[in-house]
Amino acid sequence: MLVSREGENLELPLLYKALEAEYDLTETHYTFGGHSFSFLSVLDSYALLDRISPEEFIKDEQMPYWAEIWPSAITLSSFIADELALQGQRVIEIGAGVGMASIVAAWNGANVLATDYSLEALRFARYNSLKNGVHLACERLDWRLVQCDEQFDLLFAADVLYERVNLLPIVTAIDKLLKPGGVAYIADPRRRLAEQFLELAAENNFSITSFPKKYIGGSKDVAVNIFKMTRQ
């Protein structure tokens, strides 16, 4: 969903100034569906580890994975732009990070709610949506305890299958968040945990179709699977 630039002109520089005061920033450019996008992210996500107190880590074991743009997010965004018709669809992304896939979905005509557990991530998603001239709603969501009553036509997630403890909560969250007949697309760089995730999804009455993709860029190519999940 595209928006006018009037609001962007007011909020964008203020938000950038606030982020610049807290982070070392980098801006990268990508083309999806023949359209150029720009994304702000953290230059060195490892530098954020010092911000996590031992008490916070014990509570949540949350690492700053949100701060990077991963190959799976790029691959999913390309898939969204090139292979899906989203006009008028209500979409949620879980683990949205800096908002790449959500922004591309909004550009492609979807009405999008971008969610992440990290409030820091949502500030970047907000900035990037303004920078790219699309409208996003941004909300915090914990997939271990989903407190969102709305259900969606489509759900997107990229590179979320990295901790065994999260696999069943993610399946449960997808089941709660999708409308009857809804579809989820999960992008993963072929981690071994993905196999266990698919088994859990099948046990919870989801059918899976895999789309093998490849991210070509950076220092090396990365094989990425996009899993399409529908209820049986």
Q: Domain span at residue 172?
A: 6-231
Tell me the per-residue pLDDT of 156-185, one tens digit each, with 9 for 90 and over: 999 999 899 999 999 999 999 999 999 999
> By C-alpha distance, which of 134, 137, 125, 119 is closest to 62?
119
In a domain, residue 39? The reply is yes
Task: Output the six-digit token pair for 182.
Answer: 């809804």
In a domain, residue 125? The reply is yes
In a domain, residue 82? The reply is yes
Tell me the per-residue pLDDT of 70-122, one tens digit each, with 9 for 90 and over: 999 999 999 999 999 999 999 999 999 999 999 999 999 999 999 999 999 99
User: Within 13 Å, how many C-alpha atoms sit on residue 86's CB side?
Assistant: 29
> By C-alpha distance, which of 184, 152, 170 is closest to 84?
184
- Look at residue 185 and give its three-state secondary structure: strand
| CATH number of the domain enclosing 120 | 3.40.50.150
How many structural domains comprise the chain?
1
In a domain, residue 227? The reply is yes
In a domain, residue 1? The reply is no
